[in-house]
Amino acid sequence: MTLVLVIVAASFSAIHLLEYLSYYARVAGHLAGKPVTGYAIQNATNTITRFFYLVLMPLLGFLVDRGIDAPRYIALGLIALAGAACASLLVYFLRFRCIELLYRIVAGQGQRGQAEQSVLALRKAVRGGGPAPARIALLSCIVFTCYALGVLVAYLFALVFHDYRTTISQLSGVVNGCATVLLTFVLEPRIAKIVDHHAGSDVYAAVQSLLHGRLVAVGIVAPVLFFSIGYGLV
């Protein structure tokens, strides 16, 4: 069972690392003059993370069926959230290198010099730019709190109310569906409008605002809520 616990935590962390990284493709695409390609790379990356969910969810179901004790499951969830937060922080601290790499992918590998110049110009523009949109950060925090908790909390309830585990485990889709609606119809259009009509530093600021909200959600809000819900149930 120990191996299963490790795979669950690693898969959850990998999902958040890749999805956090994918948003910088929007910035790279805008800098390279190919915003649609950048958006396509983001979507392709998010599709790859679905494979990690294909690993994650059956293993969580296996743990519930094997009757893992609730405190151990809560510890697993907190470790998975901590791993996701650390993976996201790693990308955050390496964000300009990530943007440069993604620029070269979007524009072609022969664009190394242009990528370095564009990212250097972006760094200078960001230093003198205005504040990031606070509303985007707030919406992002709400959306990604739902994403981070949807699967973990659903299987926690399935573990505690074992007789209804199959029904309850399906609730993760409901929570994630609500988050998807907010992301698709409220948050993403705001980012897309900025990408279409603003300079690179503004696009970067909007994406950073979204990612700041996501980081707060995964690193602070979700663990606090998960811990509170978990020990409220047990």
Residue 72 has pLDDT above 70, yes or no: yes
Better-scored residue on pLDDT, 180 or 86: 86
Residue 153 has pLDDT above 80, yes or no: yes
Residue 173's pLDDT is: 72
Residue 189's pLDDT is: 84
Better-scored residue on pLDDT, 211 or 232: 211
As a three-state string, the secondary structure of 71-116 is HHHHHHHHHHHHHHHHHHHHHHHCHHHHHHHHHHHHHCHHHHHHHH
Q: Tell me the per-residue pLDDT of 187-218, one tens digit each, with 9 for 90 and over.
A: 888 888 887 777 667 888 899 999 999 999 99
> Which two tokens mark 147?
């994403």
